[in-house]
Structures are given as structure tokens and as C-alpha cells.
């Protein structure tokens, strides 16, 4: 196994690595730097798009024209050719203390995105499903910091976390309706240095989670047992996704500055995009938003 600094991008709050199998490019975001990044698998040809406010997550669109992005004030379409944004709507327009955060696309092309309390101190966030017709539904509420949405290989188990609960949950997922039920604790990080942040699932059905502030990436077996731990060169590792031509490289984002003053600092590697090779594991292609 080899961990390398792929791009020295110094993202304030790097998040959301997203490998696109069609373009063979890695995307990621700087949530506090208000940017979308794209690069080759070698970390070259780095491109950026600016957005006007904090960005929580993104999903590539089926038609290839751009992405749907979850910004502080709701859902928008980002045109890669022009850099222009088109507003879809804001599920929390009446709440001033929250912003949209982590999100992923299900097997039917729907974008599931959670929101978070910006002070990370109250359960004011929720989980939403944005459908291809640009309507949305609330799936869960009472969330402080939404993170880590992803699915089992068959798409019928949905994983999700409220970071400061220190638990990762599993739900039954109805692929036809796009609904969740039967929430249970999949695994817990209580008593450890890190708390759960972004996740992905590999082809064997194991969940990989970035444990932010603890500097580890942890692989969990489908029954929730710890299978493997990877110690990262930074404490504030934020999210992970498999990519590369063979889907065998684990990309990991990190943050250069902690969002709250009591959280740990990192050295000059903080905010980098990392690539981890030689794991002997492959991931799954990430679906596109079906609009």
C-alpha cells in the first residue's frame, strides 16, 4: 500500500471526491473555499470552477453538461462550459442556521443530500432526496451534521451518519420509491479519536469511512466489524472514493483549516488530495444524476 499527495491544493475544507468513469477524471470540492476541482488520475490538468457560497456536495449530470450542486442556500445546476449556475430551490429557505452538506446519487439517479447546523451544535439538519424532475422530499430530520451517504452494491442498504452522534447508521432502501426505513446502528466510533465523515462502499460490500480528526480511514465489513485501518498523514481526512481506470485507487480529501477553533491543526499536507494505491480492493462506478 502506498499513500501519496496527489494534488497540493490546500483546500480549506476538502470534501466529496467523485470519480467519473466516463471522463476518467477525479472531482472534489472545497466547501469553504467555494470551489469545484477536477484533475486526471495522475493529479494533472487541474481545473476549477468557482461557486458563490459554501458547497456541500455535487453530482455529475447524466447529459454530461455539468453538475447538480448542493450549496448553502439549496440546489443549483452548474454548467461546466460557462461556469453559470441555475437555481433549483432551497428546502431550508426558512432556516438561517443550516447549510446543505454531503450527498450522493442512488442507482436510479436520485441525489440524496443532507444538511447541517453551521455551528455543529444543534439537530437542525435533515436528509433530502432530489428527484430528476427537480422536486425534493425530506427523508430524515433531527440531524446535526449530515455525512457519509452511500449504498450497498445492490442499492438496497443505505448508509448515513450524523457525525457528532459518532455512529454510522444503516437503513433499508426502497429502490423503486427512493425511501428509507428501519434505521439501525451499523457501527460506532465512540471512544475513538476520530468521528465519521465521508464514506464509500467497495465491490465486496465493505464500507470505507474517513474518520475526521482521528487521521484514519477505516474499512468495515458488511456486518459492521472493523476489517482494516489506514493511518493517514493528516488528522483531518474528510471523505473517500474509489477511482482510476480499474477503480482500485482510493482518493481521499482533507482540510487545511478546522471549521471550529477547538479542532486539531495539521501541517503543510492539510488540504491535499491523496491517492492510496495497492489496497487489493476495487470500488463501484458512481451513478450520475438522471437529469
pLDDT 10s digits, 241-269:
999 999 999 999 999 987 776 777 788 99
**Average pLDDT over the chain, rounded to whole?**
96
Q: What is the pLDDT of residue 267?
A: 87
The predicted pLDDT at position 118 comes to 94
Give the pLDDT score at 257: 85
Residue 169: partners with Cβ closer than 8 Å, 6 or more residues away: 159, 160, 161, 183, 184, 185, 186
Res 265: pLDDT: 78
Domains and CATH numbers, the chain: 2-277 (2.120.10.30)
In this prediction, residues 73-100 reach a mean pLDDT of 97
Residue 98 pLDDT level (bands cut at 50, 70, 90) = very high
* Whole-angstrom Cα Rg for the chain: 17
SS3 state of residue 211: strand
The distance from CA 23 to its chain's CA centroid, rounded to whole angstroms, is 19
Residue 202 has pLDDT above 80, yes or no: yes
Q: What is the mean pLDDT of residues 127-152?
A: 98
Mean pLDDT of 106-114: 98
* Cut 0.75: pTM above it: yes
Q: Give the model's pLDDT for residue 258.
A: 76
- Report the range of poorest mean pLDDT among 111-125, 213-227, 262-276: 262-276
Element housing 206 (H / E)? none
- Which residues, 6+ apart, have CB-to-CB distance to 66 below 8 Å? 60, 77, 78, 79, 80, 81
Give the count of alpha carbons within 13 A of 81, CB side only.
3
Q: CB-based contacts of 123: which residues, under 8 Å, 6+ apart?
A: 117, 142, 143, 144, 162
| Residue 99 assigned as binding residue | yes
Band of pLDDT at residue 99, cut at 50, 70 and 90: very high
pLDDT at 138 over 90: yes
To the question of whether residue 197 is assigned a binding role by annotation, the answer is: yes
DSSP secondary structure letters along 18-66:
EEETTTTEEEEEETTTTEEEEE-TTS-S-EEEE-SS-EEEEEEBTTSSE
Instruction: With beta carbons less than 8 A apart as the criterion, state whether 204 and 175 touch.
Output: no
| Nearest in space to 169 (alpha carbons), one of 109, 127, 216, 117 | 127
101 is in an annotated binding site: yes
The yes-or-no verdict on residue 291 having pLDDT over 90 is yes
- Stretch among 191-205, 249-263, 264-278 having the lowest mean pLDDT: 249-263
Catalytically active residues, by annotation = 197
| Confidence at residue 179, expressed as pLDDT on a 0 to 100 scale | 98
Kindly tell me the burial class for residue 241, based on how many C-beta atoms sit within 10 Å of its own C-beta (0-12, 13-18, 19 or more). Answer: buried
Amino acid at each position: 500500500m502506498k499513500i501519496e499527495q496527489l494534488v497540493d491544493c490546500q483546500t480549506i475544507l476538502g470534501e466529496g471526491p467523485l470519480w467519473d468513469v466516463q471522463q476518467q477524471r477525479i472531482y472534489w470540492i472545497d466547501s469553504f473555499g467555494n470551489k469545484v476541482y477536477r484533475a486526471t488520475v495522475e493529479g494533472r490538468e487541474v481545473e476549477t470552477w468557482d461557486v458563490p457560497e459554501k458547497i456541500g456536495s455535487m453530482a455529475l449530470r447524466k447529459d454530461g453538461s455539468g453538475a447538480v450542486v448542493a450549496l448553502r442556500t439549496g440546489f443549483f445546476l452548474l454548467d461546466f462550459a460557462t461556469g453559470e449556475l441555475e437555481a433549483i430551490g432551497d428546502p431550508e429557505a426558512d432556516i438561517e442556521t443550516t447549510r446543505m452538506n454531503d450527498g450522493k446519487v442512488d442507482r436510479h439517479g436520485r441525489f440524496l443530500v443532507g444538511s447541517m447546523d453551521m455551528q455543529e451544535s444543534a439537530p437542525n439538519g435533515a436528509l433530502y432526496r432530489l428527484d430528476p424532475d427537480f422536486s425534493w422530499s425530506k427523508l430524515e430530520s433531527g440531524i446535526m451534521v449530515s455525512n457519509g451517504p452511500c449504498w450497498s452494491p445492490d442499492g438496497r442498504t443505505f448508509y448515513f451518519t450524523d457525525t457528532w452522534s459518532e455512529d454510522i447508521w444503516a437503513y433499508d432502501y426502497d429502490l423503486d420509491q427512493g425511501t428509507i426505513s428501519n434505521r439501525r446502528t451499523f457501527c460506532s466510533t465512540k471512544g475513538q479519536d476520530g468521528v465519521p465523515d465521508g464514506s464509500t462502499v467497495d465491490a465486496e460490500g465493505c464500507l470505507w469511512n474517513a474518520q475526521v480528526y482521528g487521521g484514519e480511514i477505516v474499512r468495515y465489513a458488511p456486518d459492521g466489524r472493523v476489517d482494516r485501518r489506514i493511518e493517514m498523514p493528516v488528522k483531518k481526512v474528510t471523505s473517500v472514493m474509489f477511482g482510476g481506470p480499474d477503480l482500485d485507487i482510493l482518493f481521499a480529501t482533507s482540510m487545511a483549516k478546522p471549521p471550529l477553533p477547538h479542532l486539531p491543526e495539521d501541517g503543510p499536507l492539510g488540504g491535499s488530495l491523496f491517492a492510496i494505491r495497492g489496497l487489493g480492493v476495487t470500488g463501484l462506478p458512481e451513478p450520475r444524476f438522471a437529469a
